Amino acid sequence: MQQVWSSDPTWNGDSATATFVCKNDASHVRTVDNAQVTSATTPVTCEENGKTVYTATVTLEGKTYTGTKEETVPAIGHDWDDPEWTWDGESATATFVCKNDASHVRTVDNAQVTSATTPATCEEDGQTVYTATVTLEGETYTGTKEETIPATGHDWDNPVWTWSGDSATAVFTCTKDPSHKKPVAAQVTSDITPATCEVDGTGVYTATVTLEGETYADQLTRVLPATGHDWDNGTWEWIGTESAKVTFTCRNDSAHTESVDAVITVEETLPTDVKAGKNVYTATAVFNDKEYTDVKTEIIPATAFVPVEGDGSEYDPDSNEELTVKFDRDGDPDVFSRFAKVVNVSGDDYDYTLTDSDYDAAGEPLIIKLKPSYLKSLNPGKYTLTAIFLVDDEEVESYRLTFTVGESRGVTSVGTGESAALLSVAAVLLLLSGAVIGYVVIRRRKALAQNKPEV
């Protein structure tokens, strides 16, 4: 009799064992391992389960047996990508696309939107950041949108002006942000009324700046203080030596003058015979608390006229030269003009006043040149020469100078007889001529005393 088997596979994962029990005798059991297993899978989706059907196949006593097992594969659910945000003003919509299946799209409207604003400044843009928030399947998603707020630009208030000398600066402050300041150097023009020594002047200064197409101006008026006088060192005016005044002239305006009478003091140095004296007059004036002085000096000539050349000279009668003598008076510029045209020469038994033909006179000082024709008439020996001058209508005799006439080397000595007689006659004639000349000199001096030139 043929046995009839029943089986129910036992699964261990993907492998199966078939255990057969004989229907006729349940004690007859047969186990077949290593069943051949095949599977067929229905894929899972985001929203639907999938399954795998395993089929085990064994053969027992020429007969094939199969057994199946089904395993459910749970739906995998959506794997949403980051949403794409769509903004409409301040509202937003999030659109999700499943990573597993791009045909699965989910749109979430009415996102919760918040905003945070960084205000614009005068110089920098600001921005508003909008943040949208949605929840999908327990997950929260956010998206942002930034909107730029353009810089507002400055709104400059009227400037504050700062003057420094003749220059000016305008400082502008923004009304939107007082920390924003803009200094602008101004162009300055001026209208000056100059100050004088005694009257103030004025300076009207106009400053102009341009900022962002708009012009601003400011005006400053300054008092230019009177300059005051700038006096020079004064010009002195003397009236003789008795009075003096000093006149000061302003260097700023020569029409402005001030005169001050001076106090005069005198320091006298008396002259001597050979040295001039002087009177030193000092004028002192006080002006603006400062002392000014001027000095005037009068020279007082020495009292004597002295020889300065020719004293002690020796004349060679064999020469044909003149004998030059000079007289001077210290401190006197008018020696020649004071010469009374009187020259006296004296020696042993000889006293003679020269005539105009005996000498030449010139100056300054007084230069007397005795002519050779006169000198040759003198006997050898020592002679004294004196010149007469007029001072304050009085005759003044000069210091005497001496000169010597030498022996003539070409003259023979006078002997006795006829020569002696001739010599006696010549001596008589010489005495007579001396008497006549003495008389003439006396007459001439008296005439000079009566007709003296002014000195």
- DSSP per position, 188-241: EEEEEE---SSS-EEEEEEEEEEETTEEEEEEEEEEE------B-S-EEEEETT
Query: Low-confidence residues of the chain, pLDDT below 70?
Result: 1-7, 411-455
> What pLDDT does residue 6 have?
59
State what percent of residues in the chain have pLDDT above 90. Answer: 65
The gap from C-alpha 341 to its chain's centroid, in whole angstroms, comes to: 73
CA–CA distance, 247 with 238 (Å, rounded to integer): 11
Same domain membership, residue 243 and residue 217: no
Q: Which two tokens stand for residue 255?
A: 């029409």
Identify whether residues 144 and 172 lie together within a single domain.
no
Overall domain count for the chain: 5
Q: Considering the domain boundaries, does residue 99 fall inside one?
A: yes
164 lies in the same domain as 145: no
pLDDT tens, position by position, 25-45: 888 898 888 888 999 899 889
| CATH number of the domain encompassing residue 441 | 2.60.40
How many CA within 13 A on the CB side of residue 373?
7
Instruction: Note whether 384 and 257 are same-domain residues.
Output: no
At 349, which amino acid appears? D
Q: What angle do CA 31, 36, 40 make, to 5 degrees?
A: 130
What's the one-letter identity of residue 316? D
- Give the residue from 275, 300, 325 where a domain finishes: 300
Q: Does residue 320 belong to any structural domain of this protein?
A: yes
Last residue of a domain, one of 127, 149, 171: 149
Domain boundary among 224, 243, 264: 224
The pLDDT score that the predictor gives to residue 61 is: 87
Please give the Cα distance from 129 to 372 (Å, whole number).
Answer: 138
Residues 194 and 63 in one domain: no
- Residue 345: per-residue pLDDT: 96
Quick one: pLDDT at residue 440?
35
The verdict on 320 and 439 lying in the same domain is: yes
317: in domain: yes
Instruction: Assess if residue 217 is contained within a domain.
Output: yes
In a domain, 230, yes or no: no
Residues 52 and 93 placed together within one structural domain of the fold: no
Question: Residue 71's Cα: distance from chain center in Å?
Answer: 105
Tokens at residue 65, please? Answer: 């047996």
Is 169 part of any domain? yes
SS3 131: strand
* Neighbour count for residue 257 (Cβ, 10 Å): 15
DSSP string, 288-302: TTEEEEEEEEEEE--
Its domain, for residue 255, covers 235-300
Residues 191 and 128 in one domain: no
**Is 295 within a domain?**
yes
